[in-house]
Structure 1
């Protein structure tokens, strides 16, 4: 059995502005980089394989918290938000014609216009999961994390999620024969 720990990248200017980033390649904001540089992985995760989404914000986060260069995996790139990319979620929610739904009301097959559904994200993650052969940390995005955590907890994107995705925490799952199971509470990064 393999342990997979997933962690969300640090804040970017678009996060702070409430803009949907999706696949737009936004770097970390200066303060987020400084904050992450003061943190590191817990001792028992120091030697795990390290992989990141190829987007700058994930690669930067991986480097800062580990002190090493991550491998990158295209499968970990953020969910495609299609026509909503760069827009503010609050603006979309206020526009009754936008088709916007909160993620808790998506189900597995809802997709933003010209975007990607959770089921499609899951399908592109599955071949990557099958390549893992030892404990691994994946630095990625909230959309990726929600799909993996949904698989690990049985959440179906219908109603409140049984987890909250917070920053600076490892969400640890066990991967056994293609099945993910969430293991306990998130593990905080530690001060250097």
Structure 2
């Protein structure tokens, strides 16, 4: 079973953390959308986070969404929601396990979010494309690398591909962008 995870197109946040805020996506780069659509190929089932930015991205790529799943929402950043990125605390010096356990006031930790997302991913039995968030992609990667998944870059409109085998999960590709299609 192949799992393709597409992070939504760039969110229109005005330089502020979106998290659970329901913001639009900038799907205006039709060339990037077309290239990503070709990279994805046959998506199998298409499941989305119910976030507007994810549904807009799926529509811009011409995918018919077979369902939405609230468990796929981005991490709830609590009091950090809506803050400018430069005003957020820098947790970069913490070890990945401590970052994963950190819970912003009124929000959830990465571990909390992963506990919500991972049962949904484990329940999949057919090839599936999930259109969701950077946190959702990192939660999937944590199936293979644990809290170190927080160190992965997950650009807007990027594709991550995983495969479930008899021995567990394997990562085929991470953070593929439309520009990657043109690279040598």
* TM-score category, normalised to shorter length: 0.7 to 0.9
Match status 1:166 vs 2:151: no
Match of 1:88 among 63, 84, 89: 84
Shift in CA distance, 43/28, structure 1 to aligned 2, threshold 3 Å? closer
Q: Secondary structure at the match of 2:88?
A: helix
8 A Cα contact 1:170 1:187, kept in partner: yes
Match status 1:128 vs 2:120: yes
Q: What residue number does 1:151 align with?
A: 143
Q: What residue number does 2:5 align with?
A: 6
8 A Cα contact 1:153 1:181, kept in partner: no
Q: TM-score, normalised by structure 1?
A: 0.78
Which runs of 5 or more structure 1 residues have no equivalent in the other structure?
Answer: 94-99
Q: Secondary structure at the match of 2:103?
A: coil
Shift in CA distance, 104/78, structure 1 to aligned 2, threshold 3 Å? farther
RMSD value over aligned CA atoms? 2.8
Shift in CA distance, 133/53, structure 1 to aligned 2, threshold 3 Å? same
Distance in 1 between the 2:133 and 2:42 partners? 21
Distance in 2 between the 1:46 and 1:92 partners? 39
Match of 2:47 among 44, 51, 54: 51
Shift in CA distance, 60/177, structure 1 to aligned 2, threshold 3 Å? farther
Which runs of 5 or more structure 2 residues have no equivalent in the other structure?
Answer: none
Distance in 1 between the 2:39 and 2:158 partners? 14
Match of 1:101 among 62, 78, 91: 91
Q: What residue number does 2:134 align with?
A: 142
Shift of residue 35, structure 1, vs aligned partner: 5.1
Q: TM-score, normalised by structure 2?
A: 0.80
Match status 1:182 vs 2:174: no
Distance in 2 between the 1:111 and 1:148 partners? 19
